[in-house]
Amino acid sequence: MNTSTVLTQGFSFQLTEEQVAVQAAAREFAQNELLPGVIERDELQKFPAEQIRKMGELGFMGMMVDPKYNGGGMDTISYVLAMEEISKIDASASVAMSVNNSLVCWGLEKYGTEEQKQKYLTRLATGEIIGAFCLSEPEAGSDATSQKTTAQDRGDYYLLNGTKNWITNGSSASVYIVIAQTYPEKGHKGINALIVEKGIPGFVIGKKENKMGIRGSDTHSLMFTDVKVPKENRIGEDGFGFKFAMSTLNGGRIGIAAQALGIASGAYELSLKYAKERKAFGKEIAQHQAIQFKLADMATQIDAARLLCLQAAFLKDQYADFAKASAMAKLFASKVAMDTTVEAVQIHGGYGYVKEYHVERLMRDAKITQIYEGTSEIQKIVISREILK
């Protein structure tokens, strides 16, 4: 982003020198560390473990965590800027980054006990280990009120049974936050959020999903059979799980909106470069009005999506209500990602349909941004509830 001043809902702010430096560092890392091998990782469905380890060393896996827990102590705006740059190159790496930052680290820091923070957060924030957020189920999807996974209260532990689907970082995580129903008769007030460690008896990781996009992302089903989870691994008070999930997802939407923004801006930058190089009918295709119109639409939509993302981040940093803003950012940015990548393939013509030009991968990656963290229809429900209050 070239301009340093942004206006949003009556607020104004300028990017600080630190925020600009974070953006530049993320861009440099993406170009030097993520771009080499990104096509191969996509083709082989290879999790970018080494790259994510380096992201942890640079502070990208716990950006907003308090330094006393080994985090970067950065604001949400810095996180959005970094997510955009990483996502321009490798959405599989950025979704791992998003889950670890927005869902796992943020949820633990805000609602966890001091013991939980010292045991888990201090290692998650550095990328020494990574986390997973386990809400979606085969029947319930992302509907936290319809959890079939159960956590029966057995005194000093919970007995966990059930299945979770579409879990990012599914086999690479060491710590899993699992949403489960303890008191079915209480509905959403009977749900708990539990910290489950990999390797605990009864916890089985299913096969990796063979996906259309973000193919390097580690997506699995998880099965829990009579898993004993100590009571001290519950996050918050008994029955707090639904509120925990909803609050955490509000922040998670900002990360996914920034990912969608990055996918879109990555496709746009490739298209702009290609349009200036490719010649047809005696001149660069960028000189043809049909291509100019496409580029103009792409640039306008991306700038609008960026403003929505920064607005949501700004409101979150101001401790204001950001539920509507985050849902709007996710809804709009994911649509822009899909629209922009389709046009990017069109601008590239036949070359856009082959892997070496990257845009076909970005188009495949874009679609998931309209699905996870709640589909576009769920975002519209969240927005309509907020505006009808």
Q: Residues with catalytic annotation?
A: 373
Percentage helix, strand, coil for the chain under 3-state DSSP, each rounded to 5 = 55, 15, 25
- At residue 293, the 3 state secondary structure works out as helix
Q: Which residue has the tokens 């085969």?
A: 138
Q: Which residue has the tokens 């102590």?
A: 73
Beta bridge partners of 134: 178
- Let me know the angle formed at the C-alpha of 329 by 377 and 217, rounded to the nearest 5 degrees: 80
Alpha helix (H) ranges present in the chain? 17-29, 38-44, 49-57, 76-89, 91-98, 106-111, 114-116, 122-124, 241-277, 289-317, 323-348, 359-368, 376-387
Q: Which residue has the tokens 């004993």?
A: 228
- At residue 132, the 3 state secondary structure works out as strand
Contact 191, 144 (CB under 8 A): yes
Q: Which amino acid is at 281?
A: F
Q: Which amino acid is at 209?
A: E
Contact 110, 64 (CB under 8 A): no
Residue 136 phi, psi dihedral angles, 5° rounding: -60, 145
- At residue 224, the 3 state secondary structure works out as strand
- At residue 270, the 3 state secondary structure works out as helix
